[in-house]
Amino acid sequence: MATILLVNGPNLNLLGIREPEVYGHETLADVEALVRATAAAGGFEVEAVQSNHEGVLIDAIHAARTTCAGIVINPGGLTHTSVVLRDALSGVALPVAEVHISNVYEREAFRHHSYVADVAAVHVIGEGIAGYALATARLIGLVTGTGTD
């Protein structure tokens, strides 16, 4: 079965534990279960990584080059700072879906720019945890050629 890499960046291990008013009550384990269920419905399995260390994320993205069909990523705060993460995504040349739980465009100005946005083919922003399922389904649509957008 083909595999989707799910990447969650720094601090997303705190989901459901801190700042529920911004990020909701669901945990990282809930996110991973949601993505696995969505992927399974489309015939894909999921490899999940969360790290607070940029290099760990980059190594996982490089490893996906030969093992995965696409990447669903919430880069966390690295979205707004990391050229190296963007270069890793662009370097592996896999289809990428970028997810943000909160609506970054309604938050501080420094969250309005994403280094990942133009290397991602799918963007789901401000849909809460459900956005991960939307992003996964759209990515699978793209990978299998069955998508509507």
Q: Is 100 a catalytic residue?
A: yes
CA distance 120 to 33: 23
- The active-site residue, picked from 53, 80, 100, 105, is 100
For strand 3-8 and strand 70-74, is the pairing parallel, antiparallel, or unpaired? parallel
Binding track over 52-91 against ligand CA2, x by CB under 6 A: ----------------------x-xx-x------------
Question: Contact, 135 vs 97, CB < 8 A?
Answer: yes
Stretch that binds ligand CA2, among 6-14, 40-48, 49-57, 86-94 (CB under 6 A): 6-14
**What are 87's two structure tokens?**
């270069």
For residue 55, give the DSSP letter.
Answer: H
Among positions 5, 38, 68, 100, the unique one binding ligand CA2 when judged by CB under 6 A: 100
Question: Contact, 132 vs 31, CB < 8 A?
Answer: yes
CA distance 32 to 94: 20
Q: Is 23 a catalytic residue?
A: yes
Using CB under 6 A as the criterion, which residues of the chain lie in contact with ligand CA2 when the complex forms? 11-12, 14-15, 18-19, 23, 74, 76-77, 79, 100-102, 104, 111
Q: Among all residues, which ones are annotated catalytic?
A: 23, 100
